[in-house]
Amino acid sequence: MAKADADRPGRAGRTAAAARSSSEPVQASATKASAKKASRRSPSSLPVRQGEDSWTASDVAHVRAELEADRARLLDEVAAADLEIKSLLRDGGDGAGNDQADVGSKALERDAEMSLANNSREMLLQVEHALARLDDGSYGVCESCGQPIGKLRLMAFPRATLCLSCKQQQERR
């Protein structure tokens, strides 16, 4: 499900590479830019579904804080996973005394760690995309049909890019 919301051809490779690079200076400037842009836009201008209350400044601040906390956590996870993978690759040589079971076990551990790292990178892309959408005013608009995603859905899953009906259609394919 996490991958489905972030399926955007061409972006994954570029942004994953950027996520792997040193993100400390970028993070500070991105946060400053986010604060500037957010201060210019009225939260009530974000779309809501019929019958839902408008977004308040507090709602938007809560979602932004949650996304930024997720971003920081995921950056830490990716950095830790990269270190672990480097360690596994360095220690995973065909040294003397390694039998096939040891080599297979190390390969399995390395593959599992790489899978977890890739999952964290994908979630990081989704979080950064959600923050960018908050900044550019397109947050809350379904990327498939253009209808409001729904405030309740976004409060529960702030990285959502599709409304519920489009997400259900996507998962049926």
Domains and CATH numbers, the chain: 2-139 (1.20.120)
Considering the entire predicted model, what is its pTM?
Answer: 0.68
CA distances from 117 to 8, 57, 139, 158 (A): 19, 34, 27, 21
pLDDT tens per residue, range 84-139: 888 888 876 655 566 777 777 888 888 888 999 999 999 999 999 999 999 998 99
Whether the CA torsion 38, 41, 47, 51 is positive or negative: it is positive
Phi then psi for residue 148, to 5 deg, are -60, 140
Q: Report how far apart the first and last C-alpha atoms of the chain are (Å, whole number).
A: 13
Residue 88 DSSP SS3: helix
What pLDDT, on a 0 to 100 scale, did the predictor assign at position 143? 96
pLDDT tens per residue, range 7-48: 433 333 334 434 444 444 444 444 444 444 444 456 667 888
In the DSSP assignment, the letter for residue 148 is: B
What pLDDT, on a 0 to 100 scale, did the predictor assign at position 85? 86
Strand partners, 149: none
What pLDDT, on a 0 to 100 scale, did the predictor assign at position 149? 95
Residue 164 DSSP SS3: helix
Range list of H helices, 6-99: 11-20, 24-40, 57-91
